[in-house]
Amino acid sequence: MQILKGTLPALYTPYKDDKSINEAEFLRLCEWGIANGLNGLFCNGSAGDSQAMPYEMKIKMLELSIKAANKKVPVICGIGSCIYQESLDLANEAYSKGADALLLMMPYYYKFNDDTLYAYVKDLQAKVKLPIYIYNIPLFAPAMSLNLIEKLSKLPNIVGMKDSSGDALLLNHILDVVPSDFDVFVGREEHYFGALMMGAKGSMTSAGCVFPDAMSAIYKAYNEKNYERAISIQKALLPAIRFGMSLSFPMGFALLLKVRGFAFANTSIHPLSEETQQALSNKFDYAKELVKKIEGVL
């Protein structure tokens, strides 16, 4: 069931000085991304601080994303939480407000075994009205085994997944065991071109938000079989991705967004250390050089 395809961003959240959402800037960011080739919008993910937000802020991010998409591209909403009822409530809100799909990571903190995780997802997917993409993100939530992924892929309302493991071997095995109409997306921008070659349908990444032009260009070059261009853009992104991950996540990528002309990296929903705050100031020029090199390849 192909609901999504191509390049989607893991959307970041811009804040005002009082830590409220900078709504105008978020809309501008989304509209800029769509104009630069994005095939959809992914809100309420890790990059957007969703797990640190009150429920009401998550609803606001959902509403803003749907407004920005303006029915030009689909919207997928993250519903991951260690609170089952919150995931279910957010799923229902996403349906009522006009989202197109849901993204569900495994519940964190409690160390459930595969049987319990399967029961959790099976129960939830039967109660919601939007199709669900499961989310493997070992960086923040329990890693999903290949056996669990295979079992979940056969549930009626589980239509695809996002894999942020960064494990090319695992991705290859996932693509081998899931049904042919089960759409797999990669969550690590370093591996976008390789994942497409393996059979992934697209990406949902931080770089998709910061560099929608570059990530969309990889997808376009792949479809045109211009593999040399796709590889050159992929390689050009690597230093910026390493930089983005070098600061307290997601502030490195926020600084890259600031370089690209958006009101980011001024504050965070989290308290920032003095060291991180100094880095955000001192590393602006270096981040600018990284962005310039990527823009030079496009």
pLDDT of residue 1: 63
pLDDT of residue 142: 87
User: At a CB cut-off of 8 Å and minimum separation 6, what does 72 contact?
Assistant: 34
d(CA 55, CA 90): 8
In a domain, 113, yes or no: yes
Q: What is the pTM of this model?
A: 0.95
Amino acid letter at 63? E
Which residue in this structure is represented by tokens 């890693």?
Answer: 143
**293 given a catalytic annotation:** no
In a domain, 272, yes or no: no
In a domain, 107, yes or no: yes
d(CA 36, CA 219): 12
In a domain, 78, yes or no: yes
Tens of each residue's pLDDT in the chain, 298 residues: 679 999 999 999 999 999 999 999 999 999 999 999 999 999 999 999 999 999 999 999 999 999 999 999 999 999 999 999 999 999 999 999 999 999 999 998 888 999 999 999 999 999 999 999 999 999 888 899 999 999 999 999 999 999 999 999 999 999 999 999 999 999 999 999 999 999 999 999 999 999 999 999 999 999 999 999 999 999 999 999 999 999 999 999 999 999 999 999 888 999 999 999 998 999 999 999 999 999 999 9
- The runs of H, that is alpha helices, within 36-113 are 55-69, 84-97
**162 given a catalytic annotation:** yes
Identify whether the C-beta of residue 203 lies closer than 8 Å to the C-beta of residue 189: yes
The range of the structural domain enclosing residue 97 comes to 6-225
Among residues 12, 133, 135, 192, the one annotated as catalytic is: 135
| Dihedral sign of CA atoms 133, 139, 142, 145 in order | positive
In a domain, 256, yes or no: no
Provide the total of helices (H) and of strands (E) in the chain, helices listed first: 13, 8
213: domain CATH number is 3.20.20.70
In a domain, 60, yes or no: yes
SS3 42: strand
Among residues 133, 162, 192, 258, the one annotated as catalytic is: 162
In a domain, 126, yes or no: yes
Number of domains in the chain: 1
In a domain, 281, yes or no: no
